[in-house]
Amino acid sequence: MYQKKFSPRGQQKPFSRKPGFRRGKPSYFSNARPTHRGFSRKNHSGSYIDPSKFINKAVITEEIERFVPEHQFKDFAIDEELKRAVVAKGYTLPTPIQDRAIPHILQGSDMVGIANTGTGKTAAFLIPLINKVRHDAKEQVLIVVPTRELALQIEQELKGFTRGMKLFSVCCVGGASIGPQISALRYRNQFIIGTPGRLKDLIERGKIKLSEFSTIVLDEADRMLDMGFVNDMRYVMQGMPKNHHTLFFSATISKEIEGLIQEFLHEPVRIKVSIVDTPKNVEQDVVRVTNSASKLDVLHDLLNQKEFSKVLVFGKTKHGVEKLSKLLTTRGFKAESIHGNKSNSQRQRSLALFKDSKVQILVATDVAARGLDIADVSHVINYDMPMTYDDYIHRIGRTGRGDKRGKALTFVE
């Protein structure tokens, strides 16, 4: 992801039909540019997503230049115990966003970080903010994120860095009972991590006093904007003390995001990690199907192939995702689902089973497309077409993470 690469002439062979596929089915994979009007999906801006954009054959690459960080973690001006915790987690050389962001955050500068998930941005803000709290017991940090899953993931990483340091945190997210969160807020927590709607609720109830917070992180701000949280974000920001430290992270920059940056931050440092349109190490292709019945059969045959070892399947609706998960289970596959109709504990259970490779397949709505860092996903399958090309990019970004390769297939009817 951080390496400059070039592509020689030779390409890997495209997928071929495996033995055992029934005769008479449509050709599964094609590089031909689709022309049928049914092969395009209109996105929110009124343009069409041409499925030819879903085809990008992986090529053999050769590394010619490697990102060289200016720092090592031991070089950063952070607490010695924190340095040991960072090393204990296996961190040696920082990623580009960590290398560039940590010094500015340590200096107290407002910062805009333009980076995708999987670039190490969580550690980029957690490490200097843990250091900040370690040096001043009065410091409290508020981290605002779009989804429950991302909030829990950040808290898990925070606990990994702070084990034994007597620093405390609470996750305040929607979809979970508010009672235990209110109980946890009676105690002093150096870090509060939450989703905008639940945070607003707790602030209005007087359970979170924004005047006590000197630092706020807005993570995946573009996603929060997409999800309609802009007014909740404004409510939280307006309640912060006049002099506060703001960190703002987004995968994309739009006119609306620029407006929020101007509104929320004061003379921010901007750090941008080079973001490619689609991941270079994700091979992409389309799967042609003729009707819904053959669509399930095609998915069945794909999932039976040995290389489809850990597969994230995306569907459009909560009902459709749950139905597909049950159909796959009845066909003998180990499958779980994650969608908005499930309780928080049910979603976490499904995620844990998939992360631990106890199930082969996780069927999900787009709620799982951003923020989740699941290791070793071999394939992403878009069983239902994404609504926008941005959604597509975020979906397929769940595979081929770091220096690993992945494959993404999009079903086109």
Task: Write down the pTM of the prediction.
Answer: 0.64
Return the pLDDT at 55: 65
Each residue's pLDDT tens digit, 77-131? 999 999 999 988 888 889 889 999 999 999 999 999 998 767 789 999 999 999 9
pLDDT at 25: 37
What is the DSSP pairing of strand 282-288 with strand 406-412? parallel
Q: Is 164 exposed, middle or buried (0-12, 13-18, 19+ CB in 10 A)?
A: exposed
Gap between the Cα atoms of 55 and 233, Å rounded: 37
Q: Can you tell me the mean pLDDT for 366-378?
A: 76
> What pLDDT is stored for residue 260 in this prediction?
95
CA distance 168 to 122: 17
Question: What secondary structure letter does DSSP report for 77?
Answer: S
Name the fold adopted by 4-61+280-412.
Rossmann fold (3.40.50)
DSSP one-letter code for 14: P
Query: Cβ contacts of residue 168 below 8 Å, gap of 6+?
Result: 187, 188, 189, 190, 191
- Options 3.40.47.10, 3.40.50.800, 3.40.50.300, 3.90.1150.10; which CATH number does 73-272 get? 3.40.50.300
DSSP string, 269-297: EEEE----SS-TTEEEEEEE-SSHHHHHH
Q: CATH topology of 4-61+280-412 equal to that of 73-272?
A: yes
CB-side exposure of 378: number of CA atoms within 13 Å? 13
User: What are the residue ranges spanned by the domains of the chain?
Assistant: 4-61+280-412, 73-272
Closest CA to 393 of 264, 278, 304: 278
Q: Do residues 276 and 247 touch, judged by C-beta distance below 8 A? A: no
Amino acid at 2: Y
Q: From CA 43, how far away is CA 36, in angstroms rounded?
A: 17
245-301 pLDDT tens trace: 999 999 888 899 999 999 999 999 999 876 555 567 888 988 888 776 689 999 999
Going edge to edge, which strands form the sheet with 215-218? 169-172, 191-194, 141-144, 215-218, 245-250, 111-114, 269-272
Least confident of 173-177, 270-274, 276-280, 362-366: 276-280
Mean pLDDT value across residues 395-403:
81
